[in-house]
Chain A
Amino acid sequence: AQSVTQLGSHVSVSEGALVLLRCNYSSSVPPYLFWYVQYPNQGLQLLLKYTSAATLVKGINGFEAEFKKSETSFHLTKPSAHMSDAAEYFCAVTVSGNYQLIWGAGTKLIIKP
């Protein structure tokens, strides 16, 4: 079985600062990993996904994530935060042949002016 842990239900950064949202996974087989973003009163939107190709994955809006097997991590980063990045971010995992996503609890990103 797979599981996902997102460290920190809330993360606050200043505008222009580095964004780091943490995601650790557990899986007995090679995982596929996703980051989704949810803006207020909207549905979830895919930011990026890891599908066993390059370990550094680039997504939309300047975000990227690095798959580290040794650390079972898939942390999301952005070099410089914008006010428009304020949203909730979800990490999810699945494996080949499984159509369900296992979701983390979400991390709310707060951007300080």
Chain B
Amino acid sequence: DAGVIQSPRHEVTEMGQEVTLRCKPISGHDYLFWYRQTMMRGLELLIYFNNNVPIDDSGMPEDRFSAKMPNASFSTLKIQPSEPRDSAVYFCASRKDRVGVETQYFGPGTRLLVL
């Protein structure tokens, strides 16, 4: 299995521009999570989906952030307009929906720098 795939791996953009981050979860996984990691705030859960439906988006910082999951194999996190304080590493993770404690598998992350 290829694992969770994220693209791009690095993104440098200017303030005000739209940024789209992409994630392909592991095939057969029912849950998808978007995280943000910064030095100041650590690892934060932004939103998660179950069977392509957003379940909890309470971690999304503000309306500039939006996430979609049009099908089981693809999700996007969009920031519009971007601001310097959005600079962070964004991770996508996925897991199966089974009884018991399933592991979350993380992608390699997208390192975003907003100038």
Q: A94, B101: Cβ atoms under 8 Å?
A: yes
Q: For the complex, is A51 an interface residue (Cβ under 8 Å from B)?
A: yes
Q: A32, B43: Cβ atoms under 8 Å?
A: no
Q: How far is the CA of A49 from the CA of B101 in the complex (A)?
A: 9
- Closest CB-CB distance, A25 to chain B, in whole Å? 14
Q: A51, B101: Cβ atoms under 8 Å?
A: yes
Number of interface residues of B (CB under 8 A): 22
Closest to B44 in A: A103
Q: For the complex, is A84 an interface residue (Cβ under 8 Å from B)?
A: no
Q: Which residues of chain B come closer than 8 Å to A106, judged between CB atoms? A: 42-43
Q: For the complex, is B45 an interface residue (Cβ under 8 Å from A)?
A: yes
Q: Which of A43, A46, A101 sits near B108, CB closer than 8 Å?
A: A43
Q: B103, A99: Cβ atoms under 8 Å?
A: no
Number of interface residues of A (CB under 8 A): 20
Interface, chain A (partner B; CB < 8 A): 32, 34, 36, 41-46, 49, 51, 90, 94, 96, 99-101, 103, 105-106
Interface, chain B (partner A; CB < 8 A): 4, 31, 42-43, 45, 48, 50, 55-56, 91, 93, 95, 100-101, 103-109, 111
A-B contact pairs, 20 of them (CB 8 A): A41-B111, A42-B108, A43-B93, A43-B106, A43-B107, A43-B108, A45-B106, A46-B104, A46-B105, A49-B101, A49-B103, A51-B101, A96-B101, A99-B31, A99-B48, A99-B50, A99-B95, A100-B45, A103-B42, A103-B43
